[in-house]
Structure 1
């Protein structure tokens, strides 16, 4: 008999001796304890068995800016300054990449080396400094769903549970089972990959059994780790 089976036997014996109120309080404590590892796994983006969730599809790359950029820049990056005039460009961190009209080709410019911004003709502004539209950083999935506001724990004398609130459960179920759904009310339907948000792993079983025996042992006056 392995350790888990032995703990099961001890837990069964103790459960039969508990009063309904004692059972409900203990099961509620266990439900709260069970919610925590599920929240941690959602933070780590892994399933209860430890496998990684399928990553979210990459977002579209940043689009070229529609506002032109014009500035004084050292020729060759170190020589005499010249006017750079770009009608199509994109920002990449500390650099601007775009079509240099004078060089008639794509060029890369360091923002720190720009001597002076010039307001392009027909564009309102005092200094003409360019700001690019950048692709948003990838956000961690399901940050809201794992909060206590949406992931609840509860118990009665017959059992404990963790579950999503009614409002969140429809979204959670789509991802939990990998169902098909619309990306927006009027958008196209897609097949979402299965990402198990809540579940029960092998390590959870051992943790809960030990917690149960500790709590039930105290309630029955048997002391901690009774019978182990």
Structure 2
């Protein structure tokens, strides 16, 4: 077996899933994607990446445009909603990812790229904050869902 956890899971479950018909595999993929989205949302809400380390905090900005003092709000509150964090299930894959403009923002933070905070602002390098990731708990959840579905 390879050292990549996703490849190990694919090798283990591939033969079992090949025996299922396409609509059943699609239903299972949607169920898995829904559970993975839920775990990603919870992890993003707790401000931790897949390895368990905390996100790099925002740079301090005390006042907004109107001059009022800002509260320290959690990052990515809207980005983690189901409107932007989408799921898809096909007979061959279960996908969890961002859609639209949120995908661009998420990619910048996921990879720690350069971008402008506002249209005319200077370009800055964002800290790497891994929004999506596959934890050992996620692997166990996928395994349990597969076994649960196969024993029905």
TM-score, normalized by length of structure 1? Answer: 0.59
Per-residue deviation at 1:61? Answer: 6.3
CA 1:8–1:185: 2 relative to 1, 3 Å: closer
* Distance (whole Å) between structure 2 residues aligned to residue 209 and residue 33 of structure 1: 12
Larger radius of gyration: 1
Map of 1:48-197 to 2, 5 A cutoff? 48-60=50-62, 134-197=68-131
Query: Between Structure 1 and Structure 2, which shows a larger proportion of helix residues?
Result: 2
Query: Between Structure 1 and Structure 2, which shows a larger proportion of strand residues?
Result: 1
* Distance (whole Å) between structure 2 residues aligned to residue 173 and residue 47 of structure 1: 14
The number of residues matched between the two structures is 146
Partner of 2:32: 30
Q: Report the aligned-residue RMSD.
A: 2.4
> Where in structure 1 are there 5+ consecutive unaligned residues?
63-132, 219-228
* Distance (whole Å) between structure 2 residues aligned to residue 188 and residue 157 of structure 1: 45
TM-score, normalized by length of structure 2? Answer: 0.87
Partner of 1:14: 16
CA 1:14–1:181: 2 relative to 1, 3 Å: same
Partner of 1:224: none
